Amino acid sequence: MASHRRPKQPSRTRVTVLTTAAAAAVALSANAANAAPSEKPSKDEVKAKVDALYQDAEQATEKLDGAKEKQDKLEKQISALQDNVARGQEDLNQLRDGLGSMASAQYRTGGIDPSVALFLSSNPDDYLDKASAMDQLSSQQVEALKKVQGKQRELAQQRQEASEKLKDLSDTRAELKKKKQEVQGKLASAQKLLNSLTAKEKAALDEQQSRASRASERTVLGSPGKAASGRAGAAFAAGQSKIGTPYVYGATGPGSFDCSGFTSWSYAQAGVSIPRTSESQATIGTRIYSQSDLQVGDLVFFFGDLHHVGLYAGGGQVLHAPRTGTVVRYESMSTIGGAFQFGVRV
């Protein structure tokens, strides 16, 4: 027969512990619900972070441009080498064919020992003429052999050079891919920050940028500084025609530009070819370290690594393609963010 026992009642101590735990859980939940959310960065803080990311992106862009320039140069050099090798191989084949013809002719005319041929010859004078021709043919053959050997060495050297440049090209393409990813990553981070702003905050930032551009333009028009002349003047005029054109990393115009793409395009319109990247552009012409000595149209460089360049516009202003999200515009040199390093008169 089954026994009927009363269930064991929980002890008073256990009830107290459970009650206390439940109360604590309820309190924690209430605190979590009432806790203030993490403070959202202000518009100005977002702008500062975005500007820093854009500067990093521009720095990487100049490296990207340098890798592209190197890739283009290597591809041209490799193409020229491959053409030379192909033509050299045709020349070598012709030399070998000529050498083979000489060898066949010598075998047909000189396969018999000269003393035996003389003994059998019915016309010794005819033999002597042939012997003389054989000596001449042998000399031509030696010369042909030398040409073949020289052409072989030349082709081997060109093939080795092409092989080395192909490896260099492969490394450059890998660097190009890495830099492109770096730029895209910086821009994506900046866009994510901008997306965190409200429509009103975005509009305020846009208006702030527009006001800065209008103020710089008025300054330039009011105090042109030392006048531009010659090709520098023509380059500056070309640059002015592109005010309002958007910044796009890696672009060289005419529909969009990055900073060095803008300066190189402007000078190209004046018939002057300058290097593609800001770092390379800094190595040409005459350097000018005093801002007071600058003339309109001079190249002006910023940041210690020279990753930003523009055209001097007079009055302490620069005409440039600033960064992603902006357009070609005038701007005070003091507000760019990287100290003025020097100018270059092309």
Residues 314 and 268 sit within 8 Å (Cβ to Cβ): no
Q: Which residues have a Cβ under 8 Å from the Cβ of 77 and sit 6 or more positions away?
A: 165
Class of residue 238 by CB neighbours under 10 A (exposed 0-12, middle 13-18, buried 19+):
buried
- Side-chain half-sphere CA neighbours of 323 within 13 A: 21
Residues 311 and 300 sit within 8 Å (Cβ to Cβ): yes
DSSP state of 271: T
CA–CA separation, 262 and 193 (whole Å): 27
Catalytic option among 63, 308, 323, 329: 308
Residues 104 and 153 sit within 8 Å (Cβ to Cβ): no
For residue 47, give both structure tokens.
Answer: 């702008």
Cα angle, residue 210 at apex, residues 205 and 211 outer, rounded to 5°: 95
How many Å from the N-terminal Cα to the C-terminal Cα in the chain? 113
Query: Is residue 4 among the annotated active site residues?
Result: no
CA–CA separation, 35 and 191 (whole Å): 29
For residue 338, give both structure tokens.
Answer: 């990287």
Length of the chain: 346
For residue 138, give both structure tokens.
Answer: 């042998």
DSSP state of 292: G
CA–CA separation, 116 and 68 (whole Å): 72
For residue 30, the Cα-to-chain-centroid distance in whole angstroms is: 56
Catalytic option among 50, 197, 259, 300: 259
CA–CA separation, 247 and 43 (whole Å): 22
Cα angle, residue 28 at apex, residues 27 and 31 outer, rounded to 5°: 85
What amino acid positions are annotated as catalytic residues?
A: 259, 308, 320
